Amino acid sequence: MTPGRRDLKGEHLLVVDDYHFWSRGGTPTAEPIEGGSITLSDKFWSEIVSSCFPLDFRKALLFRGWPLAYDLYLWLTYRLAALQRTGRECLTVNYDQIHAQLGSHYRTDEDGALTPRGKKDFGYKVRRALRAIAATWPELRYEAPRGRITVYSTGPDVEYRPPKRTGT
């Protein structure tokens, strides 16, 4: 992503192919729905499955009072699941790239890029958060050379099990 640039793209995405709900007597809203079914479209299901990642909510809650560590834990879990799916060995991102996804209150220039001081502050806080995350995630392998981080494919924090589609 280029600092200062936002891209939006869309297409028609049918979410539900069909649905069936039922309740007892009266008008359809007289009582709570007792049962039913929803069939998701194949395209929507594929989109969900290709984007999902396993997460240990207990660990996420450890960082709930520390927004950067919380966001970084979720980001790492997502990225490491993607590395595992694609077979890539590692991913290197610089602080500007991480900031574009996670940071919000660090000093930036008019284009949204980190200033030198903002980058130094952000980098310090990212490395500190990484150390805290690694303390709860012993398998996490990363390096934090100047200005960037590299994470190595160790799989997500929780073992990934592909979702099963029922009813088809």
Q: What is the per-residue pLDDT for 29?
A: 60
- For residue 40, the one-letter residue type is L
Residue that the structure tokens 């494919």 belong to: 153
Q: What is the per-residue pLDDT for 1?
A: 47
Three-class DSSP labels, 99-131: HHHHCCCCCECCCCCECHHHHHHHHHHHHHHHH
Q: Helix 116-136 and helix 95-102: axis angle, to 10°? A: 80
pLDDT digits (tens, 9 = 90+) for 14-73: 888 888 877 666 565 656 666 788 888 888 888 887 777 778 888 888 998 999 999 999
> CB within 8 A of 104, min separation 6: which ones?
none
Residue 75: pLDDT over 60: yes
**Fold held by 54-152:** Ribosomal Protein S8; Chain: A, domain 1 (3.30.1370)
User: What average pLDDT does this structure show over 135-143?
Assistant: 94
Query: Per-domain residue ranges for the chain?
Result: 1-51, 54-152
DSSP 8-class letter at 36: E
Residue 154: pLDDT over 70: yes
Percent of the chain topping pLDDT 90: 32
In whole angstroms, how far apart are CA 30 and each of 20, 21, 22, 26, 27? 17, 13, 11, 6, 5
End-to-end CA distance of the chain: 38
Alpha-carbon distance of 158 to 168, in angstroms, equals: 27
pTM of the model: 0.70
Q: What is the per-residue pLDDT for 152?
A: 97
Higher pLDDT, 77 or 13: 77
